[in-house]
Amino acid sequence: MDGNGRWAEQRGLPRIVGHHRGVEAVKTVVQECRSLGLDYLTLYAFSSENWGRPAEEVSALMGLLCRYLESELEPMLTRGLRLQVIGETGRLPREARRVLDQAMARTAANDGMVLTLALSYGSRDEIVRAVRSLTAEVLAGRCVPEAVDEALLSSFLDTRGLPDPDLLIRTSGEMRISNFLLWQLAYTELYFTEVLWPDFDAIELHRALEEYAGRQRRFGLTGAQLHGKQSPEEDHH
């Protein structure tokens, strides 16, 4: 979700105003994804690199996170959403962790769409942490090196239990992944749009989904191989 600050700057407004508008876009997209029957939605809300932003902006973003979770808890319960988080949440302020833990606990039994927030998240850091944990298992004798494969390493990632994404949407015209789900995006379809996140609405979401629907996902195979043959099982993400 990129472009909040630029959206505000283009209008001569403080950057935090753009973040407030970005929260409204989050609410719209979450509701539309739930209405469409998607099973999983992951939002890159705050990266590990974002800690380097001005302290005032970081503090404001943490406050926005708390207010969003508090105001959206009842709607999440009503819609059956289950909230999850990935990233180094231990770096979040105490109040943000409290509100986040409460929201996850309250929605844990829901069986609708899984809404995952990436907070203080960086994919390289996630992979390093996973390798450290896996190495500790090997050194403790609970795992042998020969047993290490893609599935085992994936089970040590923050996203364990989640399917790899089918579609990645990047707003604001930036053409990069920005340290997001590097392992998980191996065969994900990528969609880039010039639209800034505060202006990303249900119409823009449908445009992205329509383009995705027209693509052929080959997973390393040829089109001829897939013709008349069921492709690998996919989850709505």
Amino acid type, 160: R
Distance from C-alpha of 83 to C-alpha of 201, rounded to nearest angstrom: 21
Determine the Cα–Cα distance for residues 157 and 55; give it in Å rounded to an integer. 29
Sign of CA dihedral 106, 184, 97, 133: positive
Task: At 72, give phi and psi (nearest 5°).
Answer: -100, 0
**Are the C-beta atoms of residues 118 and 42 closer than 8 Å to each other?**
yes
Which amino acids are annotated catalytic?
2, 50
Q: Give strand ranges (E) for the chain.
A: 40-47, 82-86, 114-121, 167-170, 189-192
For residues 19 and 60, the answer to whether their CB atoms sit within 8 Å is yes
